[in-house]
Amino acid sequence: MTIQTVSTNKSYGGVQGVYRHASQATGTDMVFSVYVPPHADGTKLPVVWYLSGLTCTHANVTEKGEFRKACAELGLIFVAPDTSPRGPDVPGDANNAYDFGLGAGFYVDATQEPFARNYRMWSYVTDELPKLVAENFPVDAKRQSVMGHSMGGHGALTVALRNPHRFRAASAFAPIVAPSLVPWGIKALTGYLGPNKDAWRNHDTVALIEDGAKFSGFLVDVGEADNFLKEQLKPELLEAACTKAGIPLTLRRQAGYDHSYYFISTFMSDHLHWHAARLTA
């Protein structure tokens, strides 16, 4: 699989790149970013996958996430894919809503028309892109972790729970932990997967835990001033599910912080140090 280099910039001694490739999973061109820290030739490095939230592309965290200094110090590759397929022939929301369609792929493989052809973000982020990155960057495939924000927090936690032997760590900022129960998730899962709620459970963190999925532990930060906290995020449901299942959860409620990248960038270094401790153990 070949990639096209869109841009590269030196940062903290490493290279921040943006790349494009033709995706078989989505049937579209996809853009993603990769930061490779300074390292000795021939060294294989641990990789952190970052899944972004509603309305975002790869660019939001790349430009606002403030992850490069920590990644350079810790020796972590940081990969940020897009959140959905894009292009003139890709169907979006009929009303141009922000929470469905373009920019709102929810990291599922859609089964409903007209979305089933392109909206295959689960396959993209768990299969196609990891293979592509491994072929083109100095990744140690045995040392991987995943993190995300909001819709991407939903994606990161579900990816980890369904692939516990692949990922050593998982964390999230303001994740949608029970999409089957909140407006954002109900709209997206109905639209992509249909009305049968049994089909939703594989893409619902709380439901996966209830159904027996396990993981070594999670770090989750939420802002107490987040406008979406009570209606859409409901971290207390994750807390209850993890407690019942015996899954270690560090849930930090950060006073005064909202849903934005000001919040994410503030605690990004904490998360990366947490990941590095597990990736290098």
Catalytically active residues, by annotation: 150, 226, 259
Residue with tokens 């491994």: 134
The amino acid that residue 84 corresponds to is S
Structure tokens at 198: 């049994």
User: Do 19 and 33 touch, CB atoms closer than 8 A?
Assistant: yes
State the Rg of the chain over Cα.
17
Residue type, 196: N
Measured at the CA of 265, the angle between CA 264 and CA 269, to 5 degrees, comes to: 105
